[in-house]
Amino acid sequence: MMRVFVDRIETTDTGEQIAVLLVPVAEGDYLRWLCPLHWLPPDTREGSWLRVEFTPDPDTGAQVRSEIEALLRELQEE
């Protein structure tokens, strides 16, 4: 789990709102992460702190592997 800071919210040329998130990577060093605002909790504002957690997704991994294997079989049959 990591914490990120919502530095600002911007509107793109296409009208989509994005949040500019700052991810601390070292003391005084941050990674900028542009994230569609609609991916974030509804009450997200500039100055908000968020917790982010990445978790494995074995179901999607298995599905994608199956699709790739099917495509490879199809290509080998041609």
Residue for token pair 């005084």: 28
Q: What is the pTM of this model?
A: 0.75
Distance from C-alpha of 48 to C-alpha of 54, rounded to nearest angstrom = 19
In order along its 78 residues, the chain shows pLDDT tens digits of 999 999 999 999 999 999 999 999 999 999 999 999 999 999 999 999 999 999 999 999 999 999 999 999 999 987
Calpha distance 19→4 (Å, rounded): 11
